[in-house]
Amino acid sequence: MTTLRGSALALLRFNYHLARIPLQLAEWGVLSRLDEQASTRLAYEQLLIDCDRLAARLLDDEEAARRAEDLDRHIVLVRTVIARDSHEMQRRGVLLLDEQRERFQRRRRERKSPGAPL
């Protein structure tokens, strides 16, 4: 009985690997040309991770589990960069607003007391 289950799982794993070939070709051929931070690419890579994790769990597929973990690690790094860049952009925006506010207040003070020293 164990041999039959093992053989069936091996056959299902083989079929999964065959079914995944077009997905991998699409990733290599089309999505690899997109920026790593493109939302389309990240969503597709997440789909691959989900498929591989499901195959790893249901089919006891160690290769799929490894692929899922490798791609997940990569996506975490990319999303960390996106978050860091977004935070930096927000920080710059706040600094710019502070500078503009200071200029506005300085001009306002100058208009109220044109001859007064600052």
Model confidence pLDDT, tens digit, residues 60-106: 999 999 999 999 999 999 999 999 999 999 999 999 999 999 999 99
Query: Does 116 have pLDDT greater than 70?
Result: no
Q: Are 45 and 71 in contact (CB under 8 A)?
A: yes
Amino acid 25 reads L
Cα–Cα distance for residue pair 118/103, rounded to 1 Å: 13
Global pTM? 0.73
Query: 56 and 62 in contact (C-beta within 8 Å)?
Result: yes
DSSP letter at 61 equals -
Task: Output DSSP code: residue 104.
Answer: H
SS3 117: coil
